[in-house]
Structure 1
């Protein structure tokens, strides 16, 4: 079981006032990485047609979860990092700046999407991803996070969506 002790923490990174939870110790251990991927899986009764990994650390876990579920994976990239003309784009404010995102619309329409990211904090990124996927015609959107900062309004920002967090601090 993944716990808070599995993360390294760095105060005031990347800016003053932020406590950064580093996933490197989880990635360095095959057992912890495997367990993290298992804990990021949706409930057995959840319908998932595609897993969307959020740039960048969601990319680490999403393909393993997608392969385990025997579904494909979509990448939610930083704007300007994804080629193509059929892109959905979104902008949002996060704890320490702004973020512009893009995803290929062709992989989303009519699908039940599981979005995987490492951290749920204010919910700005996740909410922007949900809205972007819904504009692209997703049948449903649900979320799995490795860590949730419970004192921040992330879960409130995702009201109406199924949200799973492996560790809540």
Structure 2
């Protein structure tokens, strides 16, 4: 079982007032990393796993491989070529322009994996792009959820799993 004790914390990073939860200790221990990946598995069957830039990229390919399904990436704008869908995510300390290739998403059940659910801005932008790409369902798995920031509210109508929740 993954707990808050498995994370290192850094106050005022990347900006004053933010408490950063570092996943490095989880990645540094094979058994803990394996446990984390197992906990991120979907509740319902999926056809594709989407990893969100950047730390979602660590867990998504492992989960996709375990499920024997393909993987897609949500990247920051300017990091992928081709025909892309775009959206702007408003996050707790700024905004980020995101993109995804719509190839292979239409009529698919999608699991989105990211490390942290905070305000829900990134996840909501990802859901919006996936629905525009024709996904039939979008489910989310997060390693950590910060309850005080109410990110789950931005994902109303989607299944949301969080391995560890930080109480408000």
Q: In 1, Cα distance between the equivalents of 2:136 and 2:154? A: 20
Q: Name the TM-score, length of structure 1 as normaliser.
A: 0.97
Q: Name the TM-score, length of structure 2 as normaliser.
A: 0.98
Unaligned runs of 5+ in 2: none
The equivalent of 1:103 in structure 2 is 100
SS of 1:122's equivalent?
coil
Q: In 2, Cα distance between the equivalents of 1:75 and 1:69? A: 17
Alpha-carbon displacement from aligned partner over 1:72-121 (angstroms, at most 9, x marks no partner): 0000000110011x211100210111011011111211110000000000
Q: Does 1:78 align with 2:76?
A: yes
Aligned residues: 166
The equivalent of 1:116 in structure 2 is 113
Q: Does 1:127 align with 2:124?
A: yes
Q: In 1, Cα distance between the equivalents of 2:36 and 2:68? A: 18
1:158 maps to which of 126, 130, 155: 155
1:54 maps to which of 52, 55, 63: 52
Q: In 2, Cα distance between the equivalents of 1:68 and 1:89? A: 29
The equivalent of 1:23 in structure 2 is 23
Cα distance, 1:20 vs structure 2? 0.2
Cα distance, 1:153 vs structure 2? 1.3
The equivalent of 1:12 in structure 2 is 12
SS of 1:130's equivalent?
helix
Q: In 1, Cα distance between the equivalents of 2:89 and 2:117? A: 14
SS of 1:107's equivalent?
coil
SS of 1:105's equivalent?
coil
Unaligned runs of 5+ in 1: none
Cα distance, 1:28 vs structure 2? 0.3
